[in-house]
Every structure is written in C-alpha cells, then in structure tokens.
Amino acid sequence: MLSNLSIKNYALIDKLNVSFDSGFTCITGETGAGKSILLGGLSLVLGKRADLSTLRNKDLKCVIEAEFGIDKYNLKPFFKTNDLDFEKQTIIRREIHPSGKSRAFINDTPVTLDVLSQLGNKLIDVHSQHQTLQLADNDFQLKMLDALAENQNLLTDYSKALVDYNKTSVDLNELVDIQNNANKELDYNSFLLTELQALTLEDGIQEELESQYEQLNNVETITEELSKSHHLLNDEQMGVVTVLSQLKQIAGKLTEFGSGYTELYERINSAFIELDDISSELEGLQENIEANPQLLEEVNGKLQRLYDLQKKHSVSEISELIAIREELAGKVGITENIEEQIREKENLLAIQEKELENRAGKIRDRRRKIIPSLKKQLEEKLSILGMPSVSFKIEVNPSDTFKSKGKDDLIFLFSANKGSNFGELKKVASGGELSRIMLTIKSILAKYEQLPTMMFDEIDSGVSGEISNKMGDIMLEMSKTMQVFSITHLPQVASKGHQHFKVFKEENGQTTNTQMRKLNTDERVVELAEMLGGKDLSDSALAHAKQLLN
C-alpha cells in the first residue's frame, strides 16, 4: 500500500509531504485546486516520462518520493530478478533535473524507467477519467476476461510460442526469397565458380608460376650464364677450383711444420670442397635445363587466366580469389540445398502452428467458460447502481490469425434497457453509464489481480444522488481487501472514506502553491457541507453533512 508521498518543486507544488493509511481514502477539492497535479506527480514516480515544463522553479530539480508497504504482495522474485534490495517499506524516487536529465531509484538503487514502470504496475492501478474510454477497447476487454479466467500462465506460454513461430515464419520467408534470387543467379554464379575451380588456387601459386615462367622464357640466357660460371671455376689454367686445388696441395705440405699450418690447410680444404660442390651443381643445372616451348605456353596460359580473373573480380591477391571462390561455392551450395532447408522450416512451422493452435484453444476455452460468471457479476452489480435492465452480450470466436493475446475475436456488446438493441459501449453507453461499468469491472478485477492499491480519479463522474452513494459503497467494500483512493466531487462518496484529504491552493504574494491536508471530523463536516451547498454554509447543509458522516 502507498504509505507516504513527497513532492518537491512540481507544477504548483513547492513542497508536499503526506502520509496515508489503509482502507478507503477520499480526496476532494475545488476544480483547479491541483488534484490532477497530485496524480501527475504520482504518475512520474510510477514510470511516466518526464516533462521539463512541470518544474515549478526551473533552476531546481524536482524530487518525488513514494513509500510503499510491500511485505504481503509476493514481490521478492521481482526484486531478485532486477538485482534490487528488497525492503518491506520500499521507497521509489524520481528526480527531474533542470538540464532535462531524469533519474529513477528503487531503495536508492538506480533503475531504468522500464523497471520502475514494471514495479509501479504491480503496486498501484491509477484509474484516470481517460481510462474509462478503454472500456470500448478490445485489448482491455480481453485483459479483463483473462484476469477472471486466470489465463496469465497460459498467455505467457502462448507468447513465447508465438515468438518462436514468428521467427520460423520470418526464416522461411527469407529462405524462399533467397531461393528465388538464387535461382536467377545460379547459372551466372556456377559459371564464375567453374572458372575459379579450373585453376588450382592456393597460397603461393602465383609466385610459383611467375618464377617458372621466367625460367622457361630465359633458357638461353640461363644456360649461357651457367656455362660461364662453370668455366670460371674449372678452367685448366685459371679456374678457381683448379687454383684452389693447387693451393690445397701447397698447404698440405706445410702441415708438417706445426698446428697453425694444419688449421690453415683445413680452411683451404673446406673452401675447396664447397666450390667443388658448387661446380658440380652448376654442371647439373646446365645439363638439366632445356627449352620447353610447350610448357612455357602452358604456364603462360595459366598466368594469363590468373591475371584475367584478378582483373575480372577487381582483386590483386590469390587469397581474395580464394575467398570469392568459397563465397560462390556457398551460394551455389545454398541454391542446391535450399529446397531441403525450406522443407525443414515448413515442417517446423507446421509443428509450431499446431502447438500455438493448442495453446490458443485452451485460452479460448477458459475465456468462454468464465463469460457466464462475468455477465452475471456485471449485471448484478450494475443493477445495484441503478441499471436494473442492463444486459451484456459477450462472445469469443476463433480468429483467422494469431494475435498477441491468442487467436480470438471478442464481441463485447451492451444494452442498458429492455428491448434495446445491443451495441458497442462507446456508441450506446452514456458517460455516467461508462463510469458505473468501469467501477464495476474494477471491483470485479480487484478480487483476481490482488493489487495493493487502487486509485480512482472521478470515476463517479456523471452520476449523483443514490447512485453515487452506491458507488461509494462499492469502493468502501473494495477497501476491505486493498487500499482504495477516490478523487471525487460527490459528498456521498467522500463521506464514506476512512480518511479524507482536501487539496487546496494558497496564494503567497506573487506565487500560488497547491497544498493537501488531512481533515478531522469537524473539518470533514464543513467540507461536505460546502460540497452540498456551496461556501455559504446553511444549517441544513451542515446537518446533511453530519448525517452523511454518520
């Protein structure tokens, strides 16, 4: 329940701090006194988006705090899920800074507006005059039906299944689009892939072919240079190997004269062995090299095809061509295997559709089952509220498509008088009738939704006399199991509150400030008398006010 509300620097409120008790609380005040401002401040702390224009002093931040007693409402899982400290007396705070920045806190832990709104929806239901128009909305009507049918768990499972179904449907459509586009491009992609596969594309192949081409294309030059090299090493007169052989013989004779000469001999011998080996390798290369015009043409052809493919695909590296080849292979492969993938998705979609139909059917059955009870409760309660001949026609029929809340079309029609045709609420119900219907629905839902607090903003609008008295009785009855607030202009309703607050404006110099205070018994008598007969209090108005309180 809401135990305390503090508002600073919001609209006409400079500073306000008020505490509330359980039971039925009535709030009254003249038109324009600031009752809507009070609701606006409360809505901010429940997650509504902030507006800088609401700052009373544009240089100071606005701070709104609401304290809720939540020990009895099984909210620990919510706090655990959102990593919040659970406190029996939980404080929600909202700050709006002059810069436009808005911050929200739950027990001093910063939270997003989404988390704040989720918690707010579990703590209090604020019924505004605008909300009465939702009566004609199918979503609201289904929400009411599902609350009574206790469909929450079924709807959660259905929503998860619908997400999976929609995803599979999207995947299937994407595959069909890919197939359609791929079929158009298959021949071209296959041609490009064949071109790339005709060459052995691997890292280093280009360098290898270019090297092979240079050798084949320069056979005469290479042979001539190899011959010169071999001659320089093996000329009988001045060849390096010949001279080194002689040098080796001389050094060999010197080894007898000391270890230093032996080391010199080994170095000369090592050089001789290395050059002799080079000579042999040059001779081998010279013998093996030969002109091969056919191989030259073949290598040249491969290189040209390679260069042409690089130019065609606007790349310069073999690795890029390999990547293109793999991509094309993937596209061609997808085209070739896509029918199988489509069949798999179609089978999965059929299974998911059957499961959705099953879940939607269970939701529909429970909705239909609760309709007679809902009709009976609505008609009996509205009869007490001066609508003895009211009748509802409620039907749930299968829809052609899966919707966010099942697969149903809801017919919710209303007739206020015997013999009258049924029609949609927004077309045939008056403002006063809509107010009574909404209060009746809220009183029925209160038993199922188990909200800690319900706040009505002039739900008694458009009614008076004995009917307003009965509406007050319904709110008083609701307050036995939950905290109920009623912002009202009707003395018959205000007199039933366990506590009564008055909202009023004070003028201090050049400023106007909205205030709110709890009335004692004598003050309640005066307030009710003014609501009955105006500012000029008469004895009869005061007597009537006392009678209402008693």
| pLDDT tens-digit map of 154-173 | 999 999 999 999 999 999 99
Burial class for 137, CB neighbours closer than 10 Å (0-12, 13-18, 19+): middle
Q: Tokens in use for 150? A: 């206790």
Terminal Cα-to-Cα distance of the chain (whole angstroms): 27
Sign of the C-alpha dihedral computed for residues 113, 117, 119 and 120 taken in this order = positive
pLDDT, residue 432, reads 83
- Chain centroid offset of residue 349 CA: 24
Q: Does the structure show a pLDDT above 90 at 426? A: no
Quickly state the pLDDT bin for 349 (edges 50, 70, 90).
Answer: very high
- The predicted-structure confidence for 522-536, as pLDDT tens digits, reads as follows 999 999 999 888 777
Contacts of 276 (CB under 8 A, 6+ apart): 241
Higher pLDDT, 361 or 512: 361
Q: Does the structure show a pLDDT above 80 at 181? A: no
d(CA 317, CA 359): 57
| Under 8 Å between Cβ of 524 and 518 | no
| 249-263, 264-278, 367-381, 485-499: segment of lowest average pLDDT | 249-263
Return the H-helix or E-strand segment holding 513. Answer: strand 511-518
pLDDT, residue 278, reads 83
User: Is the overall model pTM greater than 0.75, yes or no?
Assistant: no
- The predicted-structure confidence for 202-211, as pLDDT tens digits, reads as follows 777 777 777 7
How far is CA 444 from each of CA 151, 224, 375, 433, rounded to the nearest angstrom? 16, 109, 11, 17
pLDDT, residue 242, reads 77
pLDDT, residue 140, reads 86
pLDDT, residue 357, reads 95
Write down the mean pLDDT value for the chain: 86
Domain boundaries, the chain: 1-129+451-519
Strands 124-127 and 483-487: unpaired
Quickly state the pLDDT bin for 69 (edges 50, 70, 90).
Answer: very high
Among 486, 495, 484, smallest CA distance to 532 is for 495
Quickly state the pLDDT bin for 465 (edges 50, 70, 90).
Answer: confident
pLDDT, residue 151, reads 93
Q: Tokens in use for 467? A: 């009917």
Quickly state the pLDDT bin for 227 (edges 50, 70, 90).
Answer: confident
Higher pLDDT, 127 or 290: 127
Q: Does the structure show a pLDDT above 90 at 396? A: yes
| Phi and psi angles of residue 322, each rounded to the nearest 5 degrees, phi first | -65, -40
| Phi and psi angles of residue 5, each rounded to the nearest 5 degrees, phi first | -135, 125
- The predicted-structure confidence for 7-21, as pLDDT tens digits, reads as follows 999 988 889 999 999
**Helix 318-384 vs helix 431-449: crossing angle, to nearest 10:** 110
pLDDT, residue 6, reads 94
Return the H-helix or E-strand segment holding 111. Answer: strand 109-111
d(CA 545, CA 511): 33
Strands 453-457 and 483-487: parallel
d(CA 161, CA 158): 5
d(CA 34, CA 44): 16
For 478-511, the DSSP string reads HTTTSEEEEE-S-HHHHTT-SEEEEEEEEEETTE
Q: Tokens in use for 197? A: 């596969």
Quickly state the pLDDT bin for 236 (edges 50, 70, 90).
Answer: low
User: What's the CA dihedral at 525, 526, 528, 533 to 10 degrees?
Assistant: 130
| Phi and psi angles of residue 125, each rounded to the nearest 5 degrees, phi first | -115, 110
Among 134, 318, 99, 287, smallest CA distance to 208 is for 318
CATH superfamily of 1-129+451-519: P-loop containing nucleotide triphosphate hydrolases (3.40.50.300)
Q: Tokens in use for 404? A: 């966010």
| 137-146, 257-266, 452-461: segment of lowest average pLDDT | 257-266
- The predicted-structure confidence for 31-45, as pLDDT tens digits, reads as follows 777 788 888 888 888
Share of the chain above pLDDT 90, in %: 38
Averaged pLDDT, 80-107: 92
β-partners of residue 125 are 454
Quickly state the pLDDT bin for 237 (edges 50, 70, 90).
Answer: low
Quickly state the pLDDT bin for 325 (edges 50, 70, 90).
Answer: confident
pLDDT, residue 288, reads 67
d(CA 446, CA 74): 16
Averaged pLDDT, 169-181: 88
Averaged pLDDT, 180-190: 75
The upper half-sphere exposure of residue 314, i.e. CA atoms within 13 Å in the direction of its Cβ, equals: 0
d(CA 113, CA 47): 5
pLDDT, residue 130, reads 67
How far is CA 133 from each of CA 19, 91, 319, 430, 434, rounded to the nearest angstrom? 31, 32, 66, 11, 8
Among 506, 507, 504, 473, smallest CA distance to 490 is for 473
pLDDT, residue 328, reads 80
